Amino acid sequence: MSPGALIFVAMLGVALLLFLVIGVRLQAFVALLLTSLFVAIAAGIPLDKIAETIQQGMGSTLGFIAIVVGLGTMFGEMLRVSGGAEVLAATLVKKFGQDKAQWALSLTGLIVSIPVFFDVGLIILIPLVYGLAKRTGKSLLYYAIPLTAGLAIGHSYIPPTPGPVAVASLINADLGWVILFGAIAGIPATIFGGVLFGKYIAGKIHATVPEYMEIEAPKHELGKEPPRFGTVVSIIAIPLVLILLNTVSTVILPEGNFLRNFLTFLGHPFTALMIAALLSFYILGIKRGYSLDEVQQIATKSLEPVGLIILVTGAGGVFGRVLVASGVGDVLARAMAASNLPIILLAFLIATAVRVSQGSATVSMVTAAGIMAPAIEAGKYSPPMVGLITIAIASGATVLSHVNDSGFWLVSRYLGLSEKETLRAWTVMETIVGCVGFLVVFIISFFV
Residue range 321-353, pLDDT digits in tens: 787 787 766 676 566 656 778 889 989 988 888
- Exposure class string for 294-311: b at 16+ Cβ within 10 A, else e: bbeebbeebeeebeebbb
pLDDT for 270 equals 84
pLDDT for 436 equals 96
pLDDT for 431 equals 95
| DSSP secondary structure of 99-168 | GGHHHHHHHHHHHHTTTS-HHHHHHHHHHHHHHHHHHH---HHHHHHHHHHHHHHHHHHSTTSHHHHHHH
Residue range 299-325, pLDDT digits in tens: 888 787 667 667 776 777 787 778 778
Residues (pLDDT < 50) of the chain are 215-222
DSSP 8-state class, residue 210: -
Total domains, the chain: 1
Q: Which domain holds residue 189?
A: 3-445
Q: Is residue 76 a contact partner of residue 332, using CB atoms and an 8 Å limit?
A: no
Closest among 331, 264, 381, 321 to 50, alpha carbons compared: 321
Q: How wide is the angle at C-alpha 18 spanned by C-alphas 61 and 436, nearest 5°?
A: 75
pLDDT for 435 equals 96
pLDDT for 216 equals 45
- Distance from chain centroid for Cα 227: 26
Closest among 161, 165, 75 to 114, alpha carbons compared: 161
